[in-house]
Chain A
Amino acid sequence: MNDLLVDVRDLSVRYTLSRSFADLLRRKPGRELAAVDGAHLAIRKGEAVGLVGESGSGKSSLGRALLRLTPATGEVRFDGTDVLRQDRRSLLAYRKRAQMVFQDPLASLNPRFKVGEALAEVLRVHRLTRREEIPGRVAALLDTVGLDTEFADRRPRGLSGGQCQRVGIARALAVEPEFIIADEPVSALDLSIQAQILNLFLRLQREMQLTMLFISHDLGVVHHLCQRVAVMYLGRIVEEGPADEIFYHPKHPYTQSLVEAMPRVEFPKGRRELPRLEGEPPSPADKPPGCAFHPRCPHVMDACRQDPPPSIRRVGAAATACHLYPETEKA
């Protein structure tokens, strides 16, 4: 498939946990934690893929690994080249093509710079625009994200959450990237503001054919915005497929409980029971054996307690990694 833009294969992100004092005395080696554990993910040009899962499932680690902001093993092919094995120069070129938007844009904006200066700085560093054209380009960027030109003279601290996120998006767009990784960009926003920013992302997709990895813990948001969705649990992608398929016909028991647990504005009520999924995800440092979801799974079988589920495989229109689906279906 040559319309593939991002091809992630067997990606793992491991952190070494700091050792306790007792461990140091006993000269125990530091323990490892696999925040991302052998993830596969393919993103086509112009496609928006959503990455959902509960906190700690490894979504941010995966996102950061794609931009090499955190050490990782495996392969991240971008337009055919393995990003993880690039030298510094090509890495710099890659970062013009791929950009990140964060949940808290304030943290990534220098408080001393005015918004316009921050955007101009990006344009200068990447030598994208001739000096005399910079002010015009800054105004155009602000316009793209729905901010009045007067915002160029404002400082980040005086901005509301939604305005700040617009600036964060403008900064990512400054280098005219092909690929954007947005890590929970609307999670801190109020509903009406979230809707405005989602509309902005939809417009960017439509008008610029941006390719996007949209990370969120909110399945409703991801379903609205993305064509495909991948579901993560304890470092593994347990299900992946077309957004409607994941939302309306989830295969993996974890995805099923995520869908069921979504609070909905649907009436009459009381006929729909809140789901009975018990427990909370354990730390990735103490992953249960077998299927990591088995202690919470309503369908748990003996095999789940002993053996890791087979690697992710097609089930209908989606793909999942679960012992409930042993037979590989013919595609």
Chain B
Amino acid sequence: MTLLDVAGLRTEFATPTRAVAAVDGLSFQLRPGEILGLVGESGSGKTVACRSLLRLLPSRRARIAAGTVMFENRDLMRLSEAEMRVVRGRDIAMIFQNPASHLDPVFTVGDLIAEPLIWHFGESRRAARKRAVELLRQVGIPDPAGQIERYPHQFSGGMKQRVMIAAALACEPKILLADEPTTALDVTVQAQILRLLLDLRDRTGLAIVLVTHDIGVVAETCDSVVVLYSGRVMECGGTQDVLTRPRHPYTRGLLDSLPTTAARGAELPSISGYPPPLDRLPQGCRFHPRCRFAIDRCRREPIELETVDDGHASACVRWREVMEVGP
């Protein structure tokens, strides 16, 4: 059963001369209880993709140019703004890298959590507050009843992220979009938050789109993964398939760049060069200028995703050879 079906999503930014696509042809399916990793380096379009799903675009110059996002038999891209407001928060919630800038500092954490309950479900203030305490307990905040009168800034980084998760979960959404929720946290606190997300999934069947630039985080938590580069999907599939048998040179290059996979002190077989700026995207495969497998065809024509195995696809013409050569 598919909960969310994204097909051919394309989001453009208007520039003085033309429109450039920050996300181009994103497709994936999410099942209930699935954790899907959206991974890529900065600027690859992870945040724009997430925001596009909820039609919360970062600027007025941005627009969704193509694609469908099917959720419960409706295309979210065609809902009215009023209908979309109901979907946001109640059906699909989003959390961010930096909770501080998304938790309104004038509200107590109790209000932050209770407000959407009152708004979406018309719950009484008292009932909503009781539920807020329960939610804070669920996300592992000690002494929750004593905390609801405090303000977000009085919490540590990890606790703020827990508060944001509690607020996102208030209306029992079916999907959580988590945009780099642990990037700003220390590694021991990151582990706590990842464990919390896994526990929530196991207990409630919550489906999660986990945006991250950290392949280790994907390996630890995700069932499936979509690898983005310059707005295009390079590779997607089951996490273990993609990370142990990468079929795209970019995925392979990322894995080779990990200091923990190389011998200590050995040169890392990294990817040369830098990702291109959005307004100077290369023709053909967007990765070709950095790709050691590139051939003429890669420079000429866009490369489409091709199924390489059950549920595993790669947008590389030379996917068969990716693992056959040394670093």
Contacts and interface: CB of A to CB of B under 8 A. Distances in A.
B92 to A, nearest CB: 26
A224 B145 CA distance: 45
Nearest to B191: A261
B245 to A, nearest CB: 10
Interface stretch (B80-88, B181-189, B300-308, B309-317): B181-189
A274 interface: yes
Contacts of B215: 191, 265
Interface in A188-230: 190-196, 198-199, 202-203, 217-221, 223-225
Interface string B267-288: 1101110110000000000000
Contact of B260 (A265, A274, A278): A265
Interface in B251-267: 253-262, 264-265, 267
A87 interface: no
Interface in B203-222: 213-217, 219-220
B259 A220 contact: yes
A278 B140 CA distance: 10
Interface string A263-287: 1111111000011111011000000
A225 B270 contact: no
A262 interface: yes
Given A192-B254, A265-B255, A217 B274 contact: no
Contact of A192 (B214, B216, B257): B257
A199 B270 contact: yes
A244 interface: yes
B320 interface: no
Contact of A193 (B186, B198, B239, B274): B274
Contacts of A162: 274
A119 B243 CA distance: 42
* A interface, size bucket: 35 or more
B157 to A, nearest CB: 7
A268 B239 CA distance: 11
A54 B258 contact: no
A191 B254 contact: yes
A275 B240 contact: no
A257 interface: yes
Given A199-B267, A274-B194, A258 B217 contact: no
Interface string A128-161: 0000000000000000000000000000000010
B175 interface: no
B94 interface: no
A118 interface: no
B219 A191 contact: no
Contact of B240 (A54, A225, A269, A276): A269
Contact of A55 (B186, B191, B239): B186
Contacts of B265: 202, 224-225
B42 A190 contact: yes
Interface in B143-169: 156-159
Given A190-B213, A265-B216, A280-B157, A196 B195 contact: no
Interface in B86-108: none
Contacts of A160: 274
B188 A263 contact: no
Contacts of A224: 259-260, 262, 264-265, 268
Nearest to B193: A274
A282 B104 CA distance: 24
Given A223-B259, A265-B261, A280-B157, 15 more contacts: A192-B254, A192-B270, A193-B274, A195-B268, A196-B272, A198-B268, A217-B187, A220-B258, A223-B260, A244-B264, A264-B219, A265-B255, A267-B244, A269-B220, A277-B192
Interface of A: 54-55, 160, 162-163, 190-196, 198-199, 202-203, 217-221, 223-225, 243-244, 257-258, 260-269, 274-278, 280-281
Interface of B: 41-42, 156-159, 186-192, 194-195, 198, 213-217, 219-220, 239-240, 243-244, 253-262, 264-265, 267-268, 270-272, 274-275
Closest 5 CB pairs of A and B: A263-B216, A195-B270, A224-B259, A195-B257, A190-B41
